[in-house]
Structure 1
Amino acid sequence: MSLTEARFHDLVDSTQQALEDIFDESGLDVDLENSAGVLTVKFENGTQLIFSRQEPLRQLWLAARSGGIHFEYDQASGKWQCDKSEELLGEMLERLVWEQAGEKLDFDEI
């Protein structure tokens, strides 16, 4: 069963809020901007992570230095999962933040 529009927006909103909380509490020097459903995380070295919702596809997209990644919500696990590698969003973010900022953060709740 696919996500309703309202459920999709609720999931993306709660995911983006959880991401903001993790970055806020991390002590990393980052700028967070959330505007029109797009969350941008800017690291002090100039690299960024950009999270955007793709409503027609019911996907969460992530743009990182390494490229663009698309996630679908897996209702069985309650997690966002890469549509190609099936890697979970939280696992991928741990790796990407390490690559881009040189810091280890815990994204288990994502």
Structure 2
Amino acid sequence: MNESEFDKKATDTLLTIEQGIEESGADIDFEAAGGILTLEFANGTKIIINKQGAARQIWVAAKSGGYHYGFVDGQWINDQGDGELMHELSRFIREQSDEEVNLG
């Protein structure tokens, strides 16, 4: 995948995350700027999701740790354990905020 294809897939993914949170009705504030999506929860904690163009990955920083996802067979897959981004992000949100958001 070239840089332009990566940028489009990653940007679309960040937008999908935003839409999923919006539609869930969960009490989660979010802000997107410069390829970084920050989720902020009522308890003051955050999850940061960002595009890493040089690595062609999406990185997630959550209370439980940092995770890197590469695009494999049509999905963003965790290079540290084979989990899928949307499924794992839904779990990170639940664990960190007690909000139920089903992203995938």
**Is this a same-fold pair by TM over 0.5?**
yes
Q: Distance in 1 between matches of 2:13 and 2:90?
A: 15
Q: Which residue of 2 aligns with 1:4?
A: 2
- Letter of the 1:62 counterpart: V
Q: Which residue of 1 aligns with 2:64?
A: 66
Structure 1 runs of 4+ off > 3 angstroms? none
1:94 Cα deviation (Å)? Answer: 2.1
Identity of aligned residues (%): 36
Q: Which residue of 2 aligns with 1:44?
A: 42
Q: TM-score under structure 2 normalisation?
A: 0.95
* Deviations, residues 20-58 of structure 1 (Å, cap 9, x unaligned): 001111111121111111000111111111011111110
Cα-Cα RMSD: 0.9
More moved, 13-22 vs 96-105: 96-105
Where in structure 2 are the equivalents of 1:1-110 lying within 5 Å?
3-74=1-72, 76=73, 78-108=74-104
- Letter of the 2:31 counterpart: E
Q: Distance in 2 between matches of 1:52 and 1:103?
A: 21
5+ long unaligned stretches in structure 2:
none
Report the count of equivalent residues. Answer: 104
1:104 Cα deviation (Å)? Answer: 2.3
5+ long unaligned stretches in structure 1:
none
Structure with bigger RCO (C-alpha 8 Å, 6+ apart) = 2
Secondary structure at the counterpart of residue 56 of structure 1: coil
Q: TM-score under structure 1 normalisation?
A: 0.90
